[in-house]
Every structure is written in structure tokens, then in C-alpha cells.
Structure 1
Amino acid sequence: MIKLRTTLCLIIIAFSRLNESTADDYPNVVIFLADDQGWGDLSVSGNTNLATPHIDSLAHDGATIEHFYVCAVCAPTRAEFLTGRYHPRTGVSGVSTGDERLNADEVTIADHFKAAGYATAAFGKWHNGTQPPLHPNYRGFDEFYGFTSGHWGHYFSPPLDNNGQRVRGNGFVVDDFTDHAIEFIKANREQPFFCYLPFNTPHSPMMVPDRWYEKFTDFDPTMKHRDSEKEDVAMTRAALALCENIDWNVGRVLQTLDELQLRNDTIVVYFSDNGPNSWRWNGGMKGRKGSVDEGGLRSPFFLRWPGSVPKGLKTSQVAGAIDLLPTLTELANIECTSAKPLDGRSFAPLLRGATTELPERPLFSIWRNKVSLRTQQYRFDNDGHLFDIAADPGQQTDIAHEHPELATELSLQTKQFQQEMQALATAYANRPFHVGYGPSTTLPARDGVAHGTIQRSAKAPNNSFFENWTSTDDSITWDVDVGRAGKYEVVVYYTCANGDQGAELQLAMEAQGTNGSTQGDPATAFVTEAFDPPLYDKSKERVPRSHYFVKDFKPLTLGHLQLSKGQCALRLKALKKPGRDVIDVHSIDLNLLP
């Protein structure tokens, strides 16, 4: 209800302003967000291992923030971009099993643009919540095509989500996402649009089409990580190929804007979500993905808006993902009102040439128990070391003993920030998953808890399924918060080997504080049909020993389940098991009945 009231207020304010202004006052916005691409993974950064001419053109034709910082990993960066707030404030503390969820009462950048009359869409990796009201279609995006998990296990025509419906992709995922974005841009060319393209590469699995990999098949990188003995050349080859594919797709979108004569009317933004996902050339910086040092946090950042942002502008002003919401809303003349205070600030004056620097402020980075702080000149790291980044971007020389008062002050600020953020992470831990906040709810294996012999298909919960269900004593539970009481159709997505059919499945509600006793009538059905498809082909995966396994699953309706409003546990178990295994489980759908 809080989110609804806030959004309605935004709509009233923004549409009032829209009616008072001309269409030219509201530029289109296209945002590219790469996944696990380091600052050094572009030729414009000086990397001669690859060529990224289209992304480079954004730097040549627009502005470059030379010291732009994101988070150490994926979901936190997305949360900070979407809200303008440090990610622990938003409920996001990790990348899976619920820690990646953006609280429902946060107002997103898409909410602001949608309220201002923009057509809004996202195509790619969401990673901030699956179930309504956390799904992109409930966070300000009219259209969504992609996946909501933290990573996807296969990149060629995989199962995807299109506005909450299960669909099958068409070809290589990044090409597919770009195809949909181009269609969206063409369809909305006559009105302002906000198009978010969160690509999912070069994140693993390192699946690359032949067209892009052939150049790097036997390539020996001429530029390597500063600790070259750490570099996995096979990983580097695949990452470089994926980055060149990203560049090609960026070029396709830029060409579309030119063909539609929208170049001068469109703000184009490019950045990444964290440092590189392997040890490869990154300008000699310390750290990689998962680190709170420069190499784990510094991202490329380019913003092109011909005629409004000077061509080739470069600024050394420190900025970050938390600054994008206030910056883009200011550039687009959109009222930015929120009940929650922003941590970010607008750097629009830098882009417009109104100033060359902004007031000093600390920019914090936190991941798990590690925190670092960046000022305009220095980085204070998690171990209490102080580095002059202007003179020592590789963090080679600790100068804390030369500046004891500064080191003490930054240490105090860091500890205060860490205490505040960890308290928030504790408060938001163990939140139940939403059910009944939309007409249909998916509970994937990622969000479930296995009991007994049941195991995940992959170490990383994202995009895993449950397997090795060998006993009727085993079960799977999901802790949920039911937003609307009622009768729900229960559908389980399963596979079953020939000879194992005949198991009787049951999904039951267990109210809190009842020691696991079933409440109401459970939904029950027999597995009458074997369905045992092969794993998806992994021949385009260029790095061996991958732990990503994907296969198709078949829907089985278990019947109807009456759910009461409030928190409870849903338990899936087998009453009978005639074969060796029960089933493998991908997810459960709960469809609210009239």
C-alpha cells in the first residue's frame, strides 16, 4: 500500500509537469549494463586484446566518468542503480536465496520515468526479485523480457520470462535481448521511452557463439593481469569474445537510434556491475569481482547525449551507481520525489559543463564483512590501509603512516557505515517469499530448502534444480508470506526417469508455530508420466569443468490448495515412491483462482 500511494503521487506530479512542457524536454533514455565486465575489458580503456568500437564511440561522442564505482557483485549494483541508495538499505545483501530481493517499498528509477509518461522496459538479467511485487513488471517496467535470477545456466534459446509468462528464447541471449529492445524502441519512437538493457555477459557460463569465438580460439593475450600467473587464458579468451559480442549489440541499438533520427533526443548510458570475473588485464588495479578494492569496483562509464553533453568530455570526479537515479531524472527534467532519502547525488552539472567538481564526500563500498571508502583522492581499504589513488591506482603503497589523522578519520567513517549497514542486513535477513501479490507466483528451487537426501544440481543456487530425491522422508520447503487468502492451483515443474513414475506428491501449508502440522487440505497428485530429457548441449561453453546444468521440465498440476493470509511454510513431499528416485524439481507455480 505504501508503494502504491508513492507511485500515485509520482504519477500526479509528473504528468502535471509533462502537460506543461514540450516533448523535447523529455529525452529518451537507453541504459546498457554489462555483467562481470571489468573497466579494462574495452579497447577505449587501452586494452589491445580486443576491439569495442561501438562502446568506444560513446566515450568519443559523449562524456566519460573516469572514476565511476559500482559494487563488488551483481545484485547490489542493480539495487543501487535502481534506487539511488546503498544496497543494504534496500534489502539487498547478496546474490541468491532471497538476499538479492529489493524491498517492495523502494521507489525505482523506472517508477519515476513511468510516472512521467515514459514507456518503460527492461530486457535481460533483473536479479532483484522474482515473485510479485518484486518482479520487474511491478517495479515500474511496462515490459520485461529476460530472467530474474542472478545468472542463467544456458545462453542459447533458454527458458525465459516475458512479462511473467514462461517462454523460450530465440538464439543467443544477448542478441535476443537486443532484438526485443530494438522492437521496443521502434514501437515507442513517437513518445519518450526508458529502455534498460541489463546484459548477462561476460558472466559465466562462458558460452560464446562461434562467430565471436573464432577470433580468440588460439589467442595469447598480449596484455595480461598484473599477476599473470593467476590468469586463466581460456577464461580470458571467452570473456573477450563475449565483450566483442556486447559491443556489436550496442552498435545495433545505436544504429537503430540513428535510423529513427532519435540520436540527439536520446541519452545513452553504458556501465558494468562489478569488476572482471577472472584475473585478466584491468589497468594494473588491485582486485577483481568480489573485491572492495579498485579492481573490483571501478567500472567504465559513458553517457552520450548529442547537443546537450559536450563531445569527448572527461571528468575525474568520483561518482557511482547510487548517483544515476538523481542524475538521469535531473537530465530528463523529471521530478525526483521519494519518501526515502537518497545516498546518491546528481552529477548532471558536470555533464552540462556548469562545474568541474562537486563537494567532497565519501563513497562507501560494502560486500559481506568487507568495507572500503573512496574519497576524491584516496581509498581506505578493509585492512586499514590508505592509498593515494591519483598517484597509485594499483594500491601498491600504503601511506596511512604518513597521514595518521586522515586514516583515523576515514577508519571511523568506515566503521560507522559498516555497523549501520550490517544492522540493516540483519533486520532484512530470512524474509519470507511473496505469494499471492499477483495472479501467479513462481517459487523456484533457488528459493527452496532441501531436507534429507535432496541436493542441488549446482553449487550456486541460482538456476539450479533439486535432484537426488530418494526417500519419502525427504522434502522441500519454501517459507512464504501469503498476501491474499484464497484457493490456488498448484503446478510443479518436474522430470522423472522412466521406471520412477508413480510417486504420489503432496504440497501442504504448515502454519508458523504449529511444529510442522499440516493446515487445511493439501494438494496431491500422482506422477503418471515419465519425462527425462537430456541436459542442454554445452558444446559452446569455452571453459571446461562448468557446474551449470540445464534441462527442460514438465508441468504437473497437483490440484488446489487453500492458503491463509500471512506467513507459513509450504512443504513438498512424496507420500509414495515406487522407483529409485521421486522426481527432480525445478519450481512450483501457485496460480490464484477466482
Structure 2
Amino acid sequence: MKRLTILILVIMAIGGRWSAVYAQKRAVGRQAPNILLIMTDDQGYGDFGFTGNPHVKTPNIDQLAARSTRLTNYHNSPVCAPTRASLLTGRYHQRTGVHDTYNGGAIMAAGETTLPEILSRNGYQTGIVGKWHLGDNYPFRPSDQGFQYSLVHGGGGVGQPGDFYENFIRTDSSYFNTALSENNRKVQRQGYCTDVFTDQALEFLKEKKAAPFFLYVSYNAPHTPLQLPKKYENMYKDLAFDTETDRQEGKAWAKMTDNDKAAARKVYGMATNIDDNVGRILAELKKQGLEENTIVIFLTDNGNQQLRFNTGFRGLKGSTWEGGTRVPFLISGAGLFEQNKDVNALLAHIDVVPTLLEAAKIPLPASIKTDGRSALKTIQGKPAASRTFYNSWNRGWPEPYRNAAFYQNNYKLVASNADGDDLDTFGLFDLEKDPFEQNNLVQSQPALARQLKKGLDSVFTDISNSPNLTPRHVIVGSPHEPVSILTRQDANGTNMGAWLSDKATGYWNITIAQDGYYNLRSIHTAPIAKGTRSLVRVGHVQRSAVAKGHSNAVPINKVWLKKGDYLVESWFEGQGGVTGPYYVEVSINK
């Protein structure tokens, strides 16, 4: 009887345990899936072991690829800010007002509805660490666009114009002990930037594990400047690039210069550091019991900037050739995606928002018109429907044939400095047979080329008339941003091509939120010589002051400004001629 009692107790215990496990699995099935989106910057298609690179060590991402569905025909925009705008809205970047990476063209319209905004309205905790690059002032910051937590650098890159002054002046070490913005407050974190962003991502996972979350880990590496810890630099310092792959005839990387090779060694070190940090995040997911119900996405924002192995795709970052826009995309988790599977359907950044919303069973708001569509069923194995996709980017404002592409299923029309009146200046390629874009079919299939050009023209006409392509106005004098910093990143003008130089001069568009006295402060990159005149113009109001020396800033206080829209200019007049400020601070005088 005693043995029977013990046996019954054991069976009950086991049964209770299995019931608990089953109940937990059912509960997981009912929960909205967490979403972890990891994106790196300027890491090309070939910068991974799983895509065939013979040199770079990326074991964690390679393992993630092996247990993910891999989208092998996925496309982003040719450069950073446009990709980010489309990724978070599901719309062509021109519709969002983003048309460049600087010169006032990298500020997304405040009226755009973003993925984190939709998710936060549906009970998600949202956070971003790393690179934002869609506006650093109110009302364009991450906190204004749906992120409840943010730890980001400024502008388009750490140490670039637009980033914090403390980073810009440290040209050889800005990736270490970097000044950052945490929930719109400047902080300084010790360590290497990729490690720092990962540390914060881990803290986010620990804090938010009880609720569904959306975490956007947007690494700025391996974007220039190519700075990295010695440990990772030493891993590749002796890399000779002397394998059969490196010498492969007909491949662009076979002609790498010594400078290209030096850059590649550093990029590979940065890539391995990223891989280690991705491994840390995935380990934390597992540790916190979040792995089973988390959709994990890994991708890069565009092609590689410098010449190196990229599996054979034509072109680099900035171009609409496949090497500029086709990037790895891995997706797994929440029981929705098959492991170790390739999907070759034509997909793009504009599809990510509707796809994730369908996966989370959240309807797309009726007020939002996306250019993309949900690819969930396609990723899960159903045949892809016929589709088209438009891609483009050029410095300044949209142009039709300078750097654009139009896809129709497996065919692609490329306009690279093309003449709209001469079809022979375009490229037509069958990507299914010719993914490396070597065989131009324009002359053999002119009717198809004309058909795709008609599609390109139609989309261009539509997006180039977007109301959001009007200039963004930073709102100054609002309690949401007591001190507004106008940076070179967002300055407009034809002279902003020299944005790394003090000769860069331009203007900003602002809206004064309320009548009042305002303080203006023009900041230079070095101490301003005594006697130099600092001038600021806000609309028709112009004021100046003379520098007293020993400071890199000249204040002009208590300037009366009325509520309204203004164009702001600032410049210095000294013995070296006219120079521009690094940035201008504007705050209401209290």
C-alpha cells in the first residue's frame, strides 16, 4: 500500500508538471510575440561566414542563420536614413520626408505613424539602442515617434557632424566612452559603443520581460570611422587576402588596394565584435525565458561602403545595384518560421511593418497607407504573389534617373545616371538567371524595358509630390525640448557638402512655439579668436556679438522672437574669412 501511495504521488507530480508545462505553452501561444530587431550599419551581404566569407568570424550570427528562415532576395534602400524611415513605416522613404542622409534630408515627418507607435498602443514596451538617424530635435526624436526608451547617438554616425560635440572632436576615439542621448538627456557611457549599446539592450530585456516588447538594436558599427578594440583589431591584423576566393578572376574584390585591405581588416574586427554582442543578446533572451516567444530579426541597413568580398553582387553602398541594396535578412521565433530555410521571393523594408503586425495579430490602422504588404505567408512557404518594388536615392532631392531601380518579379530596371530619352542608357536584368547584373537585356527586350520604365516613372511621379518633402521645422521654445541644438547634420544649403569643414555654412528651418525672449549660442569646433564677430539671423531679426577669446562659443541673449516659422543662419566673421558653427543652441530666456 505504501508503494502504491508513493507511485500515485509520483504520477500526480509528473502529471502536475506536464500540466504546468502544457499550460505554460498554451499561455505562450496566447501572448503577443516579443520582437527583437537587430540591424548593423554598412555591413554588406558578404560580411558573414554563412554567406561565404572565407575570413570573417561570425559564429553566433551563423548559428542564428542556421535556425532562421533566410530571405535571400531582400532589399533595403542604398543608404542609412532612407532605410530606417521605410523599415519603421512600411512606406517609401520619400513619402516620409526623408530624402538624404544629411543636409536637412534625414528628418522624418512627425506625422508618420511608426511601428513602435502602433505596438505601444497595443500594450508593447518599446525601446531603441544605437542609431536613430531620423531627427534629433523635437518633434522628430525616438521618444516622439513611439519609443518609450532610447539610448542613441546623434546625427547619422558617432563622431560625424550632427553628433555631440564631445564625440566630433575626438576623431580617433569617438567610438569609446561616447556621449549619447538617453531619453533626451545627454549621458556619457564608458566602453566601446557596440558593447555599450548591447549592455543597455540586456538591461531592457531584464526589465521588460513581463510584457510584450519591441526592442530595436540599431548598431552604428561597422560604419566609419573604423575604430575598434585592440582585441578585435589584432584578430585580423595579419590577414593577407591570399586565398583562391580573394584572387577569383572577374570579381571586384580581386582588385582591392592596400587601403581597401586595411579597411576590410578593421571592418572584420568590428563585425566579430558585433557577432559577440549578438551572442550576448541571444543568450540573455534564453536566460530570461524569452526565446520561445520572441521574433528575432537580423539584417543590415545597406551594402558595404568599402570594396571587399560581397559574394559577387555589383556595386557598393549608395548604389541601386544589388551590392548596394540586397542585404541578409534572418527571421525566427514564436513558432512562426521554419528553421534553416531559404526564401527567394522579392521582399523589402517596406514589407516589415505589415509583416510584423500580422505576426502579432495587430491590424494595420486604416489611416495608414503602406507601400509594402505583409510577407508572413510568403515567408512561411506559400507561393509569392506578383509584385513590383521601387528603389532610389541621390544626394539632395529626388531625381528620376540618377540612381533608381524598378523591380517586377525577377526583372529589374536600373537607372544609373541614365538619360530618360534614351532607353539604351538603362540596364535591364533577369535576377533569377543573372543576380550579379552582368547581362543587360535592354536591347534584346526593349518592350519589357519600356514597361518597367513606365512603372518607375509612375512611382517617381507619385512620391516626388509627397507633401512631406517640404522642409522639416524644428520646434523651438517648447517644454518638450528646453534647449534646441541645431546641428550641421540638419543644416540646409548648397555649401553643406563641406560639412566636415568649418567652411560649411547653411540654414535651418524652425518654428518658434511661443512669443518670448530667446538665448542664442553659436558653437565652434575650437576656441574662437578674440575679435571674431559672431552673427545669427532669425528671419528678419539679426544680432551679433564679438568673441572675447578663450571660448568656443559666443552667446547672444534676450532676443525677442514672435511665434511663427523662421529661417535661421549663423556664421563667424574673422581673419580667416567666413566660417560656420558646429551647432547653434536656441533656448527660451527664463
Write the mapping of 1:282-431 to structure 2, written as runs, cut at 5 A.
282-351=310-379, 353=380, 355-368=381-394, 369-382=402-415, 383-424=425-466, 428-431=469-472
- The structural deviation recorded for 1:502 is 6.0
Verify: 1:114 aligned to 2:120, yes or no: yes
Distance in 2 (CA, whole Å) between partners of 1:439 and 1:561 is 18
For the structure 1 residues 584 and 395, does the alpha-carbon distance in structure 2 shift closer, same or farther, using more than 3 Å as the test? closer
Q: Which residue matches 2:88?
A: 82
1:160 aligns with 2:197: no
Describe the shift of the 1:333–1:148 C-alpha distance in structure 2 as closer, same or farther (beyond 3 A). farther
Give the 3 Å change call, closer, same or farther, for CA 194–386 of structure 1 in structure 2.
same
- Of 280, 295, 298, 1:267 maps to 295
Helix, strand or coil at the partner of 1:212: helix
Residue aligned with 1:481, SS: strand
Question: Residue in 1 aligned with 2:61?
Answer: 55
**Correspondence for 1:551:** none
In the alignment, is residue 587 of structure 1 matched against residue 587 of structure 2? no
Unaligned runs of 5+ in 1: 1-20, 469-474, 512-516, 532-553
Distance 1:366 1:571, change over 3 A: closer
Are the counterparts in 2 of residues 41 and 47 from structure 1 also a CA contact under 8 Å?
Answer: yes
Aligned with 1:255 (options 283, 286, 311): 283
Cα 1:465–1:132 change in 2 (3 A) is farther
**Residue in 2 that maps onto 1:447:** 490
Partner of 1:147: 153
**What is the distance in 1 between the residues matched to 2:97 and 2:189?**
30
When residues 593 and 266 of structure 1 are mapped into structure 2, their CA distance, relative to the original with a 3 A threshold, is farther
Alignment partners' CA distance in 2, 1:89 and 1:593: 36
Q: Is the 8 A contact 1:277 1:289 kept in 2?
A: yes
1:61-89 Cα deviation digits (max 9, x unpaired): 22111110001111110010011001111
1:28 counterpart residue number:
34
The aligned runs of 1:506-517 (5 Å cut-off) are 507-511=536-540, 517=541
Aligned to 1:13: none
Secondary structure of the residue that 1:466 maps to in structure 2?
A: coil
| SS class of match (1:585) | coil
Q: Determine the structure 2 residue equivalent to 1:479.
A: 509
SS of the counterpart of 1:299?
Answer: coil
Secondary structure at the residue paired with 1:57?
helix
- Is the Cα–Cα contact under 8 Å of residues 71 and 329 in structure 2 kept in the other structure? yes
What amino acid is the match of 2:291? R
Paired position in structure 2 for 1:105: 111
- Paired AA for residue 386 in structure 2: E
TM-aligned CA deviation for residue 429 of structure 1: 5.0
Structure 1 residue matching 2:219: 3-state secondary structure: strand
- Return the match for 2:48 from 42, 46, 58: 42
Equivalent AA in structure 1 for residue 454 of structure 2:
L
What pairs with 1:213-292 in structure 2 (closer than 5 Å)?
213-221=233-241, 222=243, 223-224=245-246, 226-227=251-252, 228-231=254-257, 232-292=260-320
Between the aligned partners of 1:279 and 1:371, the Cα distance in structure 2 is 21
Q: Would you say the 8 A contact 1:503–1:582 is kept in 2?
A: no
**Cα shift readout 1:388-419 (whole Å, capped 9, x = no counterpart):** 21111111112334434322211211122233
Tell me by how many angstroms 1:45 deviates.
0.7
> Counterparts of 2:579 and 2:413 in 1: how far apart (Å)?
51
User: 1:4 corresponds to which residue?
Assistant: none
Q: 2: CA distance between counterparts of 1:177 and 1:78?
A: 18
Q: What residue number does 2:136 align with?
A: 130
Shift of 1:593: 5.3
Which range is displaced more, 178-187 or 558-567?
Answer: 558-567
Moved more, 161-170 or 72-81: 161-170
CA change 1:22–1:460 in 2 (3 A) is: farther
1:137 maps to a residue whose letter is S
Structure 2 counterpart of 1:435: 476
1:176 aligns with 2:196: yes
The answer to whether residue 520 in structure 2 is matched with residue 490 in structure 1 is yes
Which amino acid is 2:538 matched to?
Answer: M
Asked if structure 2 preserves the Cα contact closer than 8 Å seen for 1:36 and 1:273, the reply is: yes
Query: Alignment partner of 2:440: what SS?
Result: coil
8 Å CA contact 1:120, 1:195 repeated in 2: yes
Q: 1:466 aligns with which of 492, 502, 506?
A: 502
Change (3 A) 1:584 1:373: closer
Amino acid of the structure 1 residue aligned with 2:222:
P
Retained in 1: the 8 A contact 2:79–2:301? yes
Equivalent runs, 1:194-209 vs 2, <5 Å: 194-209=214-229
Distance 2:502 2:147 in 1: 31
Whether the 8 Å CA contact 1:525–1:559 is kept in 2: the answer is: no
- The separation in 2 between residues aligned to 1:490 and 1:465, in whole angstroms, is 22
Q: CA deviation at 1:433?
A: 3.9
- The superposition leaves residues 314-347 of structure 1 with CA deviations (integer Å, 9 ceiling, x where unpaired) of 2111101000001111111223205231001111
Aligned in 2, Cα 1:449/1:101: closer, same or farther, shift over 3 Å? closer
Given that 2:571 and 2:580 are in contact with CA atoms closer than 8 Å, whether structure 1 keeps it comes out as no
Distance apart, 1:91 and its partner CA: 0.7
SS class of match (2:464): helix
Deviation for aligned residue 1:304: 1.5
TM-score (normalised: structure 1): 0.81
Query: Alpha-carbon deviation of 1:424?
Result: 3.7
CA offsets, 1:435-492, max 9 Å, x none? 34533321113334699xxx98xx663xx47369xxxxxx874332323433434344
CA RMSD, 1 decimal: 2.8
SS at match of 1:329: helix
CA distance in 1, matches of 2:572, 2:447: 64
* Cα displacement (A) at 1:155: 1.2
> What is the SS of the residue equivalent to 1:341?
coil
Look up the SS of the partner of 2:439 in the other structure.
coil
> 1:26 corresponds to which letter in structure 2?
A
Amino acid paired to 1:157: N
Match of 1:3?
none
Letter in 1 for 2:520: V
Match for 1:364: what amino acid?
A: Y
Letter in 2 for 1:486: G
Q: How many angstroms apart in 1 are the aligned matches of 2:28 and 2:43?
A: 38
The answer to whether the Cα contact below 8 Å between 1:372 and 1:380 also exists between their aligned partners in 2 is yes
1:127·1:149 contact (CA, 8 Å) conserved in 2?
Answer: yes
For the residue of structure 2 that corresponds to 1:202, the secondary structure is coil
Task: Measure how far apart 1:118 and its partner are.
Answer: 1.3
Is the CA contact (8 Å cut-off) linking 1:128 and 1:148 kept in structure 2? no
Distance in structure 2 (CA, Å) of the matches to 1:293 and 1:481: 39
Query: Which is richer in strand?
Result: 1
Q: Which moved more, 1:393-402 or 1:265-274?
A: 393-402
TM-score by length of 2: 0.82
Distance in structure 1 (CA, Å) of the matches to 2:154 and 2:364: 26
Cα deviation for residue 432 of structure 1 reads: 4.3
**8 Å contact kept, 2:42–2:223:** yes
Aligned to 2:565: 567
In structure 1, what is the Cα distance between the partners aligned to 2:490 and 2:326? 31
Please give the alpha-carbon distance, in whole angstroms, between the structure 2 residues aligned to 1:180 and 1:560: 40
Number of residue pairs the alignment of both structures matches: 524
Q: Does 1:66 align with 2:56?
A: no
Give the partner amino acid of 1:75. A
Distance across 1 between alignment mates of 2:493 and 2:78: 29
